[in-house]
Amino acid sequence: MLNSVDPEIPVRRRLTADDRRRQLLGIGLTKIMEKPIQDLAMDEIAAEAGISRGLLFHYFPTKTDFYLECVAAAGRRILRNTSPDVDAPGPDQVRQMVRAMVEQIDRRRSFYLTLVHGSGVADPRLSEVHESVRSVSTERVLAALGADPQPHVVHAWWAYVEDLALSWSAPPAAERDRTLDEVVEHCVQALRALTVLA
């Protein structure tokens, strides 16, 4: 007699350790975009993954470790999403990066605030993720524009871009005093001015 498979019941398969970690980080990344760390329920993460809480802690020894791994994954995602077209002219690459960063911050403002200002998790690894995002973004601008801007100037300019994007994205879209294009152009002009001053 043949076994029939109910199409309504998902087929469970055993995941490799790397696949399971990726799955858990994907679930966690979605959750921390929606709620602060203190509201993150590990039981909920485990249940969504279809595993026990104990198995989750096999992959991530503490809740803080899990949270920090999720934040690191978010940092990598930000860098992927803000990567420019390296075949475009340098100034166009900078404009692409600025636009993508402002859009990222606008979409995930509360998460980005957590990344920049912390969330009650006193761990230096949290600031390391933010610093990594800013450092890689700085290197990309320097690569796009050549030797003209000084690294410390570009690094500081990215802080300005982030702060401006956080301020601009605070009110509802209908109440903002400038458009996304205007914000991007302002940031690009600010970099040009800083480069001249430096």
Tell me, what CATH number does 72's domain have?
A: 1.10.357.10
Residue 9: the pLDDT is 42
Domain that holds residue 50: 17-197
pTM to 2 decimals?
0.80
In a domain, 144, yes or no: yes
Contact 32, 24 (CB under 8 A): no
Residue 107 covered by a domain? yes
In a domain, 149, yes or no: yes
Contact 12, 50 (CB under 8 A): yes
Domain count, the chain: 1
Name, in order, each residue with C-beta under 8 angstroms of 9's C-beta and a sequence gap of 6 or more: none
Residue 2 included in any domain: no
Residue 67: other Cβ atoms inside 10 A: 23
Q: How far apart are CA 172 and CA 37, in angstroms?
A: 25
What pLDDT is attached to residue 49? 92
Consecutive 10-residue averages of pLDDT for the chain (198 residues): 46 76 90 74 91 92 87 89 96 97 91 68 73 93 85 94 95 94 98 86
Q: What is the pLDDT of residue 4?
A: 47
Residue 12 lies in a domain: no
Q: How far apart are CA 36 and CA 6, in angstroms?
A: 38
CA distances from 4 to 9, 48, 123 (A): 11, 26, 51
**Among 120, 103, 121, CA closest to 166:** 103
| Residue 4 belongs to some domain of the structure | no
Query: Is residue 36 assigned to a domain?
Result: yes
Would you say residue 8 lies in a domain? no
Assigned token pair, 177? 């005093």
Give the Cβ contact number of residue 87 at 10 Å: 7
Distance CA 93, CA 86 (A): 7
On whether the CB atoms of residues 191 and 157 are closer than 8 A, the answer is: yes
CB 169 within 8 A of CB 106: yes
- For residue 122, the model assigns a pLDDT of 59
At 11 the pLDDT is 42
